[in-house]
Amino acid sequence: MSLINRKDSNTVVGYRIRQLLERLSSLKENINWDIEEERGRFIRELYPLTKDWTGQLPHFRDIFQPKVIDRLLFDVVKFMSQYRLMLEGFSLIDFVIRTGYKDEPDLAEDGESSLSRTTPVHFAAASCFSTRNSIVRQLFKVYRRFDVNYTDESGLTHFHVACMCGCSDVVEQFLELGQDPNCLWPLTGESPLYLAVRSKREKVIELLLKNRADPDLANAEGQTLLHVICSRVQDDAALNKFFAVCDDIRQTIKIDAQDNKGNTPLHLALLYGNEKETELLLRRGARS
More confident site: 12 or 57: 57
* Nearest-angstrom CA–CA distance, 212 and 204: 13
pLDDT tens-place string over residues 69-99? 999 999 999 988 887 778 889 999 999 999 9
Question: In this predicted structure, what is the pLDDT of residue 109?
Answer: 65
* Nearest-angstrom CA–CA distance, 144 and 122: 14
* Nearest-angstrom CA–CA distance, 233 and 200: 13
In whole angstroms, how far apart are CA 183 and each of 194, 225, 228?
11, 15, 19
Report yes or no on whether pTM surpasses 0.75. Answer: yes
Q: Which of 167, 195, 213 is the last residue of a domain?
A: 213
Q: Which of 166, 189, 213 is the last residue of a domain?
A: 213
Whether the pLDDT of residue 58 is over 90: the answer is no
For 190, the 3-state DSSP assignment is: strand
* Nearest-angstrom CA–CA distance, 164 and 202: 11
* Nearest-angstrom CA–CA distance, 195 and 221: 14
Mean per-residue pLDDT, 218-237: 93
Q: Do 173 and 113 share a domain, yes or no? A: yes
Mean per-residue pLDDT, 25-35: 83
Q: Do 16 and 92 share a domain, yes or no? A: yes
Please name which of 186, 132, 189, 180 lies closest in space to residue 159, comparing C-alpha atoms: 180
Q: Which of 195, 213, 231 is the last residue of a domain?
A: 213
Whether the pLDDT of residue 215 is over 90: the answer is yes
157 DSSP β-pair partners: 151
Query: Helix, strand, coil % (nearest 5) of the chain?
Result: 55, 0, 45
Q: Do 157 and 203 share a domain, yes or no? A: yes
Question: In this predicted structure, what is the pLDDT of residue 8?
Answer: 46
Q: Do 194 and 142 share a domain, yes or no? A: yes
pLDDT tens-place string over residues 170-203? 999 999 999 999 999 999 999 999 999 999 999 9
How high does pLDDT run on average in the chain?
89
Per the structure, the complete domain to which residue 279 belongs is given by 215-288
Whether the pLDDT of residue 143 is over 50: the answer is yes
Q: Where are the alpha helices (DSSP H) in 148-251?
A: 158-164, 168-176, 192-198, 202-209, 225-230, 236-248
Mean per-residue pLDDT, 262-286: 96
CATH code for the domain of 275: 1.25.40.20
Per-residue pLDDT band at 106 (split at 50, 70, 90): confident
Q: Do 250 and 273 share a domain, yes or no? A: yes
Q: Do 113 and 91 share a domain, yes or no? A: no
The count of structural domains within the chain is 3
Per-residue pLDDT band at 46 (split at 50, 70, 90): confident
At residue 273, φ and ψ (nearest 5 deg) are 70, 30
Q: Do 36 and 92 share a domain, yes or no? A: yes
Residue 231 contacts residue 239 (beta carbons within 8 Å) = no
More confident site: 165 or 61: 165
Mean per-residue pLDDT, 130-150: 95
**In the structure, how many helices (H) and strands (E) does the chain have?**
15, 0
Per-residue pLDDT band at 231 (split at 50, 70, 90): very high
Mean per-residue pLDDT, 47-66: 82
Q: Do 91 and 142 share a domain, yes or no? A: no
Neighbouring residues of 207: CB distance < 8 A, sequence distance ≥ 6: 168, 171, 172, 175
Q: Do 159 and 238 share a domain, yes or no? A: no
Q: Do 163 and 191 share a domain, yes or no? A: yes
Q: Do 149 and 223 share a domain, yes or no? A: no
Q: Do 205 and 219 share a domain, yes or no? A: no
Please name which of 244, 178, 188, 249 lies closest in space to residue 217, comparing C-alpha atoms: 188
Mean per-residue pLDDT, 55-63: 81
Question: In this predicted structure, what is the pLDDT of residue 9?
Answer: 45
User: Is the dihedral angle over the CA atoms 208, 209, 214, 216 positive or is it negative?
Assistant: positive
Residue 202 contacts residue 241 (beta carbons within 8 Å) = yes
Whether the pLDDT of residue 120 is over 70: the answer is yes
